[in-house]
Amino acid sequence: MRVLGRISYDGSKFSGFQRLNNGLGIQNELERVLSIIAKKKIKITGAGRTDAGVHALDQCIHFDLDINFSLDKLKYALNRLLKDGIKVNSLEKVKDDFNARYDVLEKTYEYRILLKEKNPFLVNYTSIIYQNLDILKMQEASKLFLGEHDFKNFVSGERLSYIAKIDRIDIKNIGKQLIITLKGKSFYRYMVRHIVGALLDVGLGKCDESKVKEALENPGKTINFSVAIPNGLYLKKIKY
């Protein structure tokens, strides 16, 4: 049977989601424990990769099992055996042709910024900005990213296509944190961190929204912005 798993993890304790030769990827740990339980090598497919330091509240995976084991017992066993920093939130049986990566309809990311306050307990879980931010300018600039664009100036690495569509960006000041939420189907390597970095550049007065507009309208011209650190980034929700 094919199983869809929804998991959460503390990205500061691993070297990213992808399977690594040094065994420090989240994928390594999930496959290690599943293989122990199944008594055979199990491989998983993730909805997407998160980089070192990036967290997940709702990462999704799929894998195949041919053992007679209830999913409730499997979830219990996984959470007992997995290293600290990973939790299996739910498991469900899905169709044999389900694919955790290719069947995604929408992903929601959240970026958390602690404003003007150092907190040793949040250093791995937020970005810290001590300067004043013009949030209204950031909100206005965020509208430029909505819809379908060529995001070449906001993606790291080479791809055949940089076209993606962003459905929604919200920027809200909640208590002492600024929360930036992005929703869309496809986000490429470092794309969220590039977009957040550009918005922070606008908020800090390093550039205005015209530079963002130019970067979106001229993907063949290299235009650089800051790249937000991974600590504050969370994969919040995946919709199928």
Give the tens place of pLDDT for each residue, 126-141: 999 999 999 999 999 9
Last residue of a domain, one of 94, 114, 138: 94
Q: Which residues pair with 169 in a beta bridge?
A: 182
Residues 35 and 110 in one domain: no
Last residue of a domain, one of 94, 126, 150: 94
SS3 123: coil
**pLDDT tens by residue, 24-83:** 899 999 999 999 999 999 999 999 989 999 999 999 999 999 888 899 999 999 999 999
**pLDDT tens by residue, 66-87:** 888 899 999 999 999 999 999 9
Last residue of a domain, one of 69, 94, 119: 94
CB 118 within 8 A of CB 223: no
Please indicate, yes or no, if residue 9 is contained in any of the structural domains. yes
Active-site positions?
A: 51
SS3 2: strand
Residues 232 and 114 in one domain: yes
Residue listed under structure tokens 């999704």? 60
How many domains are contained in the chain?
2
Chain centroid, CA 193 distance in Å: 9
Residues 155 and 133 in one domain: yes
Find the CATH number of the domain harbouring 209.
3.30.70.660
Please indicate, yes or no, if residue 100 is contained in any of the structural domains. no
Please indicate, yes or no, if residue 99 is contained in any of the structural domains. no
Domain containing 47: what range? 2-94
